[in-house]
Structure 1
Amino acid sequence: MKKFALVTLASFMFSAFTSQAEVKDDSTKSGKLTISGYADVYYQYNLNNPSFVSPTTSAGYGNPPISQNPGRIFDVKNNQFSLGLVQTKFAYTTDRSEVVLDLAYGPNAALGNFGNLYGTDVNIKQAYMSYMFTDKLNVTVGQFGTHVGYELIDAPLNYNYSLSYLFGNGPFYHTGAKASYAFSDKVGLMAGVVNGWDGMYDFNGTKSAIAQLFVSPTDGFNIYINYIGGDEKNGWSFPTLGNPNAPISGTKNVSHLFDLTTTYQITDAFKLGVNAAYGFGNNLKIDAAESDGYSKASWGGAALYADYRFSEFFGLGLRAEHFEDKDAVRYIGATLGGCTVNEFTLTGDLRFMDGHFNLKPEFRIDVANVNDDFGGTYKGYVKDPGNPDKAKATNVQPTIGMAAIYAF
């Protein structure tokens, strides 16, 4: 992987030097500074009435225990009015360059803060610079959001408020360098070298490779084939030992993740989307059968999205998803145990102020089965766990809620 990193960086430099004839000098042109951002707040009620637990993020230290939704990504608080995330984004652009500083604050920033700024809710979500060496070649260096997945951390950019298991159990961001080349408006390619998954810094001196192939067969139909792979995990984002406080590194911790994302805008009102992912690799595990202490592990799933806007004011979005983490190497598996989970989410979208202010009522059902050590399964949730007379196992977790999002 080190050799790959050197070869890829060398190719970036070669592309830049060989393209000098096409580069326009824009050093004397003035740029434009834009400031944007958003804030979101949500309330959610879990019909299973889960137990109160001590907060596990930096945001929770010193706070009283709260009721949480097991396995969820950002919408974790039950029966609470909760701040989600506050974002402020500064972007300075010229004809051929861009510098971005994207800051986030709040509980969701802390939950997505793997290996970023420790012990704080402030998250450097993105901080990068990019330059168009030609009309087709763009190079970006710094920290940037992941290319993997259908959804984004930014609540205003997703139709559903709650995040899918596919996105929540994949990477959120990368730090490194990447180059994108647009062969046409129908085909594009990106490749790069990064420190790994969700890490501002490198944990073991190796690097991961990232890549994306973009194809648009027809107007409104976009296909993205994504990849990340390398020997670079950290214990906050990739809890292979069930211990999120210790980095995981070593030459046998190589993993690969392939991701397919498609969107098809069938009409102005109706949009379909598909996301599928499969990851695999060698992972250090305490109970590994292999004599060297390593075992094979895999995870993945698929999701279907269908959004329909009945009017400028009102729309509905449906997500149906299947996700498997039977080896308990991702967040959901570390939370519930090695499991298979399905989820169905119906989200309304009420738009005010030309879409700057949105209300999103949402109903979601998670269905989880957890694998035991003998090849069987058991129900993944407990209903009324705080009441010994009523508590019982269930594989269904239904929630209802409302989110308010203001973007500027």
Structure 2
Amino acid sequence: MKTIINTKYIKNLVFAIMVLVSFTVFGQEEETKPKFEFSGTVDAYYRANFNGLNKEIPVLDEDGETEGVFVPAAPGTSFANDPGFAIGMVNLIASYESEKVGFVADLVFGPRGEDAVFNSFGSPAIVNQLYVFWNVGENTRLTFGNFNTFLGYEVISPSANFNYSTSYMFSYGPFSHTGIKADFDLGNDWSAMLAVLNPTDFTDFNPLGEISFGAQLGYSGQFLNLIYGNQSGDEFVNADGALIEVDNEALFQIDFTGGFDITEKFFLGINATYQDTDDLGFYGVALYPQLTTSDNFAIGLRGEYFAESGSFGAIGTGVEDSSVFAVTLTGSATIGDLIIKPEIRLDSASEDFFLDSDLNPSDSLASFILAAVYSF
């Protein structure tokens, strides 16, 4: 990793500045009536492959004993990868907001939530977000706790994404952060954000003693996002009890997220990202054209190119510098608070990452999803 000069001094200085801002900027507006809300989603889906396995097949040894299993082929992305009828998650969100302060408690239950939320030991948890906030001025908000990432076009909640399955860039970028961030409304459609964070996925506490820094600059719905910091420890004790320091390179990621209303009914979303750590990482770009055909139906496409630098392991081919191109066509039919999403997805990799229905290696996979998402 690139060595950060005077790391401890910089950490303390940035943290002190953010705390100082919180205690020196005060709004003068009158308090309004506090508002408590309870909301969430429930989702389930059906998934089938056109040219791959749709059930698990046991692998037997010479004695007829099961020694493994061939699992159904699935895109190398997060969520919606199980065969047949499957459940997503229950998402329960409680929030409270007054003129100055408030909190959000966001809990998830089910396979989608388990894939998205980790504690500091990497095991599944149920807390998706848990933070408090303070509107310290008319144009400044401080957020303290665990919150979903500011990078990327997609999010964990299926109700907030147009496509039900997720992109490679979202799946391998960070999901959530724990720390403190300051959001600034700069006026004239400009915004900014600064954050001091734990290493990625260490959401309940920080056992590594490392700090990451995040930043965002926004203009009229277009956002440039940055994150930088050591994501692993740089000290360990050897067998003799001696403290050893290693020079790890910090993770660096730059990400652009935005979109444009081409017409009243046609929207084009854009996401591009680049991440690098120790010459390992990934980069990609995706376009999200979406057309609203009526008050109750819309259709959207996601076209994504994703590549890993070095043998990052994101795509799963085991071959350096692998890449994949994925096209996902999704319909979105609204029936009250229920959204039905039929989806066809085509993934084409540079290597034989998938298995076809005859268990032969294949570089492509075609699949179908029918999802139902209820919001309350």
Q: Pick the TM interval, shorter chain.
A: 0.7 to 0.9
Q: Which amino acid is the alignment partner of residue 227 of structure 1?
A: L
- Using the TM superposition, give the Cα deviation of residue 14 of structure 1 relative to its aligned residue in structure 2, in angstroms: 2.4
- Structure 1 unaligned regions, length at least 5: 55-63, 217-221, 235-248, 283-295, 371-378, 385-389
Q: Does the aligned pair in 1 maintain the 2:326–2:345 contact within 8 Å?
A: yes
Counterpart selection for 1:44 from 40, 43, 47? 47
CA RMSD across the alignment: 2.3
Matches within 5 A, 1:281-320: 281-282=277-278, 296-320=279-303
- Using the TM superposition, give the Cα deviation of residue 279 of structure 1 relative to its aligned residue in structure 2, in angstroms: 0.9
Matches within 5 A, 1:183-202: 183-200=186-203, 201-202=205-206
In structure 2, distance between residues paired with 1:114 and 1:251 = 26
1:272 aligned partner? 268
**Residue range with higher mean Cα deviation, 249-258 or 64-73:** 64-73
In structure 2, distance between residues paired with 1:134 and 1:115 = 33
Name the SS of the counterpart of 1:15 in structure 2.
helix
- Using the TM superposition, give the Cα deviation of residue 250 of structure 1 relative to its aligned residue in structure 2, in angstroms: 5.2
Name the SS of the counterpart of 2:137 in structure 1.
coil
Q: Whose RCO is larger (CA < 8 A, sep 6+)?
A: 2
2:307 aligned partner? 324
In structure 1, distance between residues paired with 2:211 and 2:158 = 30
Q: Does the aligned pair in 2 maintain the 1:66–1:77 contact within 8 Å?
A: no
2:364 aligned partner? 396
Name the SS of the counterpart of 2:277 in structure 1.
strand
Matched, 1:348 2:365: no
Matches within 5 A, 1:123-142: 123-142=126-145
In structure 2, relative to structure 1, the CA distance for the partners of 1:176 and 1:334 (3 Å cut) is: farther
In structure 1, distance between residues paired with 2:349 and 2:119 = 29
- Using the TM superposition, give the Cα deviation of residue 4 of structure 1 relative to its aligned residue in structure 2, in angstroms: 2.8
Q: Does the aligned pair in 2 maintain the 1:34–1:90 contact within 8 Å?
A: yes
Counterpart selection for 2:218 from 214, 217, 220? 214
TM superposition score normalised by structure 1: 0.79
1:236-268 deviation per Cα after TM superposition (whole angstroms, max 9, x unaligned): xxxxxxxxxxxxx95414110000011112233
Name the SS of the counterpart of 2:208 in structure 1.
coil
Q: Does the aligned pair in 2 maintain the 1:368–1:395 contact within 8 Å?
A: yes
- Structure 2 unaligned regions, length at least 5: 1-6, 59-68, 234-244
- Using the TM superposition, give the Cα deviation of residue 70 of structure 1 relative to its aligned residue in structure 2, in angstroms: 4.6
1:40-69 deviation per Cα after TM superposition (whole angstroms, max 9, x unaligned): 001110123336279xxxxxxxxx986351
In structure 2, distance between residues paired with 1:337 and 1:381 = 17
Q: Does the aligned pair in 1 maintain the 2:210–2:232 contact within 8 Å?
A: no
Q: Which amino acid is the alignment partner of residue 195 of structure 1?
A: N
In structure 2, relative to structure 1, the CA distance for the partners of 1:322 and 1:45 (3 Å cut) is: same
1:144-186 deviation per Cα after TM superposition (whole angstroms, max 9, x unaligned): 0000000111101111000011111100000000001111141
Count of aligned pairs between the two proteins: 347
In structure 2, relative to structure 1, the CA distance for the partners of 1:125 and 1:34 (3 Å cut) is: same
- Using the TM superposition, give the Cα deviation of residue 360 of structure 1 relative to its aligned residue in structure 2, in angstroms: 0.3
1:256 aligned partner? 252
Q: Which amino acid is the alignment partner of residue 175 of structure 1?
A: T
1:344-392 deviation per Cα after TM superposition (whole angstroms, max 9, x unaligned): 0000001111xx100000000000113xxxxxxxx222212xxxxx443
Q: Does the aligned pair in 2 maintain the 1:231–1:251 contact within 8 Å?
A: no
In structure 2, relative to structure 1, the CA distance for the partners of 1:114 and 1:330 (3 Å cut) is: farther
2:345 aligned partner? 364
1:171 aligned partner? 174
In structure 2, distance between residues paired with 1:232 and 1:95 = 36
2:61 aligned partner? none
Q: Which amino acid is the alignment partner of residue 73 of structure 1?
A: S
Name the SS of the counterpart of 2:23 in structure 1.
helix
Name the SS of the counterpart of 2:82 in structure 1.
coil
